[in-house]
Amino acid sequence: MAVGVSLTARVNDGYLLLIVPPYRIEVALSLAIILFVLAFVLLFLVLRTIGLALSLPSRVGGYRARRRREKATASLHEAIRLLFEGRFSQALKKAGEAYVAGQDPGLAALLAARAAHGLREPEKEQEWLGRVNNPRLDPARLMLEAEMAIDHEQYGEAVSVLQALQNISGRHIAALRLELRAQQGCGNWPEVLKLARVLEKREALAPELLQEIKTQAHQEAIRQQQVADEGQLLAYLRAIPAKERSLRLTHTSCQALLEHGVDDEAQRMIEKQLDLQWDSDLVQLYGQVRGRDLTSCIARAEKWLPQHPEDAQLLLTLGRLCLQQRLWGKAQIYLEASLSLVDQRAVRLELARLFEQTERWDEAMPHYRAAAEQVALRPATPLLRLAVSSAQQLQSVPRLPG
């Protein structure tokens, strides 16, 4: 290109005449073109420099704003990382920096509230929660409020918050899990059962854990006597689905039946459960049955004996049943057999009662003393020790011939 320009300039004999009175300027056309181009470039550079100088403040401001946004974003990301690491104090600091910088302030406030909760600072929790003003974050805020309320054992407040959440975003699995914990804390066992069944359908918790939760809910509902009379108790127990029944629940149910005087139903339930699964504690409860046909109870228990000959609770139960039927000889045999396996206070007391009813006072007293000594050996309050000592003194007083 340079060669072409030089050749063109050599063959070009034209010139440019400029007349500015009283001056007359004659310039070669090639030189004039070169000067014109240089002037244009110079003018462009001057104007460009002036433009850059005038825009410099806004460019500096934009750069600083961009740096602030980058720093705020980094602080927000750092707060999330520190929160997951459990470094709550530093997470709170970084979230506060992001909030002040205006980088997603709602999310930054939520992170700060969660970090404050980890530091066990309730005032800061509420302060930061109050700064979450973005309606888009309302479900997240309510979830966090419910979790905090549960951790502070404010279960009623947690239930109210979760109901508000349900009105906004429905009942998703995480909210149902929180509500389950809140209802457990409130002792609202019918609602606990409903939630556990919903979570079971959605496969949201381990089956073993759900079974344990449902068993506990049934047990507490029975213990709190939310079913007041005999009819309601029977209706409640019969309404329990078969897959929710368990050994522990059977034990609690039978205790409630015996307390309500429904011994025949308790007897039937215990026998059915023991045929499925043997349990010594349930066998002991069988000995408390006061049914109309104790003879059949004794016969049933004696059928179990060959399969469990060294079960001390079964022998104790047989002894108690025989005592109720006034079968003194058999009762003594079973009770002494149980005592030979395990020295239990309950067996001592039953033997003492047997000897009293057969007017064998001298044989009853050693068992009373042994039972009292077993109580005294347990960790007890001074008041209980005093009661045991008094009982032993009373037992040492000779009986008047009756």
Q: Which amino acid is at 114?
A: R
pLDDT band per the 50, 70, 90 thresholds, residue 227: low
Instruction: Look at residue 388 in the predicted model and tell me its pLDDT.
Output: 44
281 contacts 314 by C-beta, under 8 angstroms: no
pLDDT band per the 50, 70, 90 thresholds, residue 395: very low
Nearest CA-CA partner of 323 in 294, 292, 282? 294
pLDDT band per the 50, 70, 90 thresholds, residue 232: confident
Nearest CA-CA partner of 101 in 113, 87, 112? 112
From first CA to last CA, the distance across the chain in angstroms is 144
pLDDT band per the 50, 70, 90 thresholds, residue 27: confident
pLDDT over 70, % of the chain: 88
Instruction: Look at residue 31 in the predicted model and tell me its pLDDT.
Output: 79
Q: Give tens-digit pLDDT for 172-215.
A: 899 999 999 999 999 999 999 999 999 999 999 999 999 999 99
Question: Does 49 have pLDDT greater than 50?
Answer: yes
270 contacts 285 by C-beta, under 8 angstroms: yes
Give the Cβ contact number of residue 280 at 10 Å: 14
- Structure pTM? 0.71
Tokens of 247: 């050994």
Instruction: Look at residue 129 in the predicted model and tell me its pLDDT.
Output: 92
Nearest CA-CA partner of 348 in 326, 370, 373, 329? 370
Tokens of 231: 């009819």
Q: Which amino acid is at 306?
A: P
Question: Does 380 have pLDDT greater than 70?
Answer: no
Q: Give tens-digit pLDDT for 256-299.
A: 998 888 888 999 999 999 988 899 989 989 988 887 778 889 99
